Amino acid sequence: MADGSSGTPQTFYDAVGGAETFRTIVSRFYELVRDDEVLRPLYPDDDLVGAEARLRMFLEQYWGGPRSYSDQRGHPRLRMRHAPFRIGFIERDAWLRCMHTAVASIDSTTLDDAHRQELLAYLEMAADAMVNSPFIGP
């Protein structure tokens, strides 16, 4: 996909509205996390704002936006960064439920069906990769 002005390929990040779209998704996601009985205990009280910023920077970078995440934090190493937390199927499903709701908050003009499905497929794959506990429940 080219951006009409220069003929260079347009990134996913640019195609879906750039920073504003990712800011909206991540902000909505953390609104839901704050009220989620499964996910909220996984976050220290004083780090929700930091967690929100890190997720936003990670997603922006992954989808072709600014490299702020790597510039500030180095290689993502997602499994290593999540290893201290017990993440089972219940936690994965709660995370995906909140993320699906957050993605659904973006209108279809900004995030068309093809981009929406690509984003959700990645999020589902990433959530599956974070499961590190054989336990099904608390």
The tens digit of pLDDT for each residue in 92-136 reads: 999 999 999 999 999 999 999 999 999 999 999 999 998 988 765
Place of tokens 């506990």: 133
Q: Are the CB atoms for 29 and 100 separated by under 8 Å? A: no
Residue 46 in any domain: the answer is yes
- At 66, which CATH number? 1.10.490.10
Residue 85 in any domain: the answer is yes
Closest CA to 30 of 46, 53, 57: 53
Rounded to whole angstroms, the Cα distance separating 79 from 81 reads 6
Residue 1 in any domain: the answer is no
Residue 136 in any domain: the answer is no
What's residue 43's pLDDT? 85
Residue 73 in any domain: the answer is yes
Residue 3 in any domain: the answer is no
pLDDT per residue as tens digits for the range 27-84? 999 999 999 999 999 888 888 888 999 999 999 999 999 998 776 565 656 655 655 6
What's residue 132's pLDDT? 87
Name the residue range of residue 117's domain. Answer: 12-130
84 torsion bin: left (phi>0), alpha (psi -120 to 50), beta (else): alpha
Residue 138 in any domain: the answer is no
Q: Are the CB atoms for 132 and 79 separated by under 8 Å? A: yes
Structural domains of the chain, count: 1
Residues, the chain, total?
138
